[in-house]
């Protein structure tokens, strides 16, 4: 499927449906078989609307709970992707909120917490301080 050729409204619905699939732990085998993570990562691109991007980041957040996806999340650079979204001073606030939630979900796992520290999670506080009149 070529994402760039899908109408924006349809892509927004697809991104939401993908997020709903990620809510269900019993769907993890299908998520892996369909390589849904690679689709989700593509939806985070800045060329898409904040609604699509927010849905994608929320889906990533939900996938952090599945140990079977640990290696795939790490090898696809998902932590770096999410941290960059959080630190993007000019980024969309909704995307930034869901990115922060995803980092919290990563931090809840002992497997991920050391990786977050190695990647400089503490630098995130400085970037969040640059957003005026906003609470995340």
Q: Is residue 58 part of a domain?
A: yes
What is the tens place of the pLDDT at every residue in 13-33? Answer: 999 999 999 988 899 999 999
Q: Per the domain annotation, does 135 fall within a domain?
A: no
Query: What 3-state class would DSSP assign to 69?
Result: helix
* Residue 14 counted as domain residue: yes
| Model confidence at 63: pLDDT above 60 | yes
CA distance 88 to 99: 11
Give the global pTM: 0.82
* Token couple for 24: 């269900």
The structural domain count of the chain equals: 1
User: Residue 53: what pLDDT?
Assistant: 96
Does residue 136 lie in a domain region?
no
Least Cα distance to 134 among 99, 72, 78, 92 occurs for 92
Residue 85 CA to residue 65 CA, distance in Å, equals 20
In a domain, 134, yes or no: no
Pick the range with the lowest mean pLDDT from 15-24, 86-95, 120-129. Answer: 120-129
Nearest to 62 by CA among 122, 12, 115, 18: 18
């Amino acid at each position: 499927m070529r994402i760039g050729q899908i109408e924006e409204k349809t892509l927004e619905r697809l991104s939401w449906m993908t997020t709903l699939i990620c809510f269900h732990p019993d769907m993890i085998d299908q998520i892996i078989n369909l390589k849904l993570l690679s689709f989700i990562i593509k939806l985070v691109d800045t060329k898409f609307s904040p609604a699509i991007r927010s849905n994608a980041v929320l889906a990533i957040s939900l996938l952090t709970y599945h140990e079977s996806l640990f290696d795939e999340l790490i090898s696809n650079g998902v932590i770096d992707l999410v941290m960059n979204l959080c630190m993007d001073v000019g980024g969309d606030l909704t995307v930034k909120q869901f990115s922060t939630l995803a980092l919290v979900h990563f931090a809840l796992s002992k497997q991920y917490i050391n990786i977050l520290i190695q990647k400089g999670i503490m630098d995130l506080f400085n970037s969040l301080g640059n957003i005026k009149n906003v609470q995340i």
